[in-house]
Structure formats: structure tokens, C-alpha cells
């Protein structure tokens, strides 16, 4: 279902909720149930804590790009796009709490707060502050605290750290060659190369893998480059994420720059899968770990 932000309809819906609430005992507020996630990572965080989100923005996109061990409940309601969530759809769920990002949702924070208690996070701290992995951990524990699942949250992060430690030992024989992590965007000849402050690259670092790309750290954790940037890092092992059946990626097979790259000629490039989400929480981090291990230990 497609929802778009419409203030008039929202005010009508909010008025109806307010009238209904006013006609019920004061305990009604405490009967609010469920949580709404306006960004995929917060739905993932809830699932990691054993909580099925009641509402989620852009379910179709989530199911296409986020592949984690815990499936989304089929009864979860789609509440519009991540950029323009539907206030009417959110209000109809009578949620206990809403989780969103400052980047996308700060302009509608007041409206969201009229529906339910709203918490906005910043998954993209400025370089020199927290790196994205640290921010992910802090936000995950914050959501665990707000949902009374602190113990479960600490356990999930402990399991991730243990797996990273094991992976570091297992990859010691391949860690001498730097890793280049790229993301092809689809419908454009450009790609993203991930910088040291990104969540994905911090995961790589904790597996004793070095970053071949030494671009300037960006708040989003990547530099968007043209193909001509790759010869400088062609000695790396290239791991990448690309949309399925990406026409631009297929064109590379006939591109002389691409065909001349050392990691292409020597078959040191591996797809991590189109559903490896590089901007997620601890469960996505675990997926990255397992797919990197498989990519770097595969037999020629």
C-alpha cells in the first residue's frame, strides 16, 4: 500500500485518536502496544531484541535489501516511505513508541510526537566523532533500554564481538592483502568505496582486514567515485554489493579499464550479495562477517 504525507488527513486521523482516547479511562495510554520503525535498521534492532515491529517504512525495500536471520512478521504494517512516512498510517497503529532518524524525520518530529513518544537517532555522525559501528552499538543499546530488553541487547552485542574475534583469527592468513569494499548503485556508472569510519569497514578492521581505499572519511562512510579511481587500488581483494541484474554493472564486462584491473584479471573480486545491508544493526553485521569469511576463504 502506498502512503504519502498529507497534513490535513493526518490532523483528521489524530483528532479521531484524541477523541477516542478522551472517551476512555486514563489507563488507555498505558495500553498502547508496539513500536514503529521509520528506518530499516531500527526494525532490525527490534527483531534482534525479540520484538516484532508493528509498523515499518518501506517494507518492500526492506525485504529486498535486508537479509537477516530473523524474518519480519507478515502482519507488520507498511507506513509509507522512509523519507515521507504516512502520519495517518502511523497514528492508526496507536504505537507505544516511534524510532526514526534525525536526517529524514526531524522536520516531522513534532507531528510524530503527537502520535507517540518519538526517538530520533543520527546513524551518520561527523568524522572524528563516533564511527558508525560505535553509533550502531550505542543506538542498539538505547533501543534495548527503551523496550526493556537491555540484557538481551548486551547478549546480542557480546555474540557479535565473539564472532568478530573468531573471524579475526580465522582470516589471519589472508589479512596481508588489503580489502576494497564497493557498492554499485544501479543505473549509474559510479560506485561507492567505503571509508574507515563506515560500519562495514569497522567490521572489516575488527576481523584484522585493512582498507585499501584511503579516501577522505565522509559522514555517510563512503566516497562516490568513477571507475577511473580503481587502478590505484587494483592490488586489493575487491568485495562488492550490486543490485541484481544491474545493467551498468554488466556493461563493465566490455570496459577496458575494468578488464585491465589486476583484481579482475586475477579473479580477486567477490560479490557479497545484493541483500547484504551495509548500514544495518548487529544482525546485518553478522551477515557481513559470514559473507566476508566465505568470500575470502573460497577455493580458487
Q: Are residues 100 and 179 in the same domain?
A: no
Domain holding 105, by residue range, is 7-121
Q: Are residues 263 and 174 in the same domain?
A: yes
What is the DSSP pairing of strand 222-225 with strand 191-194? antiparallel
43 pLDDT exceeds 60? yes
Q: Are residues 92 and 192 in the same domain?
A: no
The contacts found for 54-63 with CB under 8 angstroms, 24 or more apart, are 54/93, 54/95, 55/79, 55/89, 55/90, 55/93, 55/95, 57/81, 57/82, 57/85, 58/82
Of 58, 93, 121, the residue at which a domain comes to its end is 121
Q: Are residues 38 and 167 in the same domain?
A: no
For the stretch 46-94, pLDDT in tens is 999 999 999 999 999 999 999 999 999 999 999 999 999 999 999 999 9
Is residue 209 included in any domain, yes or no?
A: yes
Confidence band (pLDDT; 50, 70, 90) for 4? very low
Q: Are residues 86 and 192 in the same domain?
A: no
What's residue 300's pLDDT? 54
CATH of the domain at 23: 3.40.50.1980
What is the DSSP pairing of strand 179-184 with strand 191-194? antiparallel
21 pLDDT exceeds 50? no
For the segment 110-135, the average pLDDT, to the nearest whole number, is: 94
Is residue 126 included in any domain, yes or no?
A: no
Q: Are residues 13 and 87 in the same domain?
A: yes
Q: Are residues 20 and 80 in the same domain?
A: yes
Q: Are residues 116 and 170 in the same domain?
A: no
Q: Are 248 and 188 contacting, i.e. CB atoms less than 8 angstroms apart?
A: yes
What's residue 31's pLDDT? 53
Q: Are 203 and 223 contacting, i.e. CB atoms less than 8 angstroms apart?
A: no
Is residue 127 included in any domain, yes or no?
A: no
- DSSP per residue over 152-220, as a string? HHHHHHHHHHHHHHHHHHHTTTTTTS-EEEEEE-SSSS-EEEE-TTSHHHHHHHHTT--BS--PPP-TT
Show the cell assigned to 12: 483528521
Is residue 148 included in any domain, yes or no?
A: no
Domain count, the chain: 2
For the stretch 192-248, pLDDT in tens is 999 999 999 999 999 999 999 999 999 999 999 999 999 999 999 999 999 888 888
113 pLDDT exceeds 60? yes
Sequence-distant (≥ 6) Cβ neighbours of residue 171 within 8 angstroms: 207, 208, 209, 292, 293, 296, 297
Of 121, 145, 174, the residue at which a domain comes to its end is 121
Q: Are residues 92 and 195 in the same domain?
A: no
Is residue 89 included in any domain, yes or no?
A: yes
This prediction has a pTM of 0.86
Amino acid at each position: 500500500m502506498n502512503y504519502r504525507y498529507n497534513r490535513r488527513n493526518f490532523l483528521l486521523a489524530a483528532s479521531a485518536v484524541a477523541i477516542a482516547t478522551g472517551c476512555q479511562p486514563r489507563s488507555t495510554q498505558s495500553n498502547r502496544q508496539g513500536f514503529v520503525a521509520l528506518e530499516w535498521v531500527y526494525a532490525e534492532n527490534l527483531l534482534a531484541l525479540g520484538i516484532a515491529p508493528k509498523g515499518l517504512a518501506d517494507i518492500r525495500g526492506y525485504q529486498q535489501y535486508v537479509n537477516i536471520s530473523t524474518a519480519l512478521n507478515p502482519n507488520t504494517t507498511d507506513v509509507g516511505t522512509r523519507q515521507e512516512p504516512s502520519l495517518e498510517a502511523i497514528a492508526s497503529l496507536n504505537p507505544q513508541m516511534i524510532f526514526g532518524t534525525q536526517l529524514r524525520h526531524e522536520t516531522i518530529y513534532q507531528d510524530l510526537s503527537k502520535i507517540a513518544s518519538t526517538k530520533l537517532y543520527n546513524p551518520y555522525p561527523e568524522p572524528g566523532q563516533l564511527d558508525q559501528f560505535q553509533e550502531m552499538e550505542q543506538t542498539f543499546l538505547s533501543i534495548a533500554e527503551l523496550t526493556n530488553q537491555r540484557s538481551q541487547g548486551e547478549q546480542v552485542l557480546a555474540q557479535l564481538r565473539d564472532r568478530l574475534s573468531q573471524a579475526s583469527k580465522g582470516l589471519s592468513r589472508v589479512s596481508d592483502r588489503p580489502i576494497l569494499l564497493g557498492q554499485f548503485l544501479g543505473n549509474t556508472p559510479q560506485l561507492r568505496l567505503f571509508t574507515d569510519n563506515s560500519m562495514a569497514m569497522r567490521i572489516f578492521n575488527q576481523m584484522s582486514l585493512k582498507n585499501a581505499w584511503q579516501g577522505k572519511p565522509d559522514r555517510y562512510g563512503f566516497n562516490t567515485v568513477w571507475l577511473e579511481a580503481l587502478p590505484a587500488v587494483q592490488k586489493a581483494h575487491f568485495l562488492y554489493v550490486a543490485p541484481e541484474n544491474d545493467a551498468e554493472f554488466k556493461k563493465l564486462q566490455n570496459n577496458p579499464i575494468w578488464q585491465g584491473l589486476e583484481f579482475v584479471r586475477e579473479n580477486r573480486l567477490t560479490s557479497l550479495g545484493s541483500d547484504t545491508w551495509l548500514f544495518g544493526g548487529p544482525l546485518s553485521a553478522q551477515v557481513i562477517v559470514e559473507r566476508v569469511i566465505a568470500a575470502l576463504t573460497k577455493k580458487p
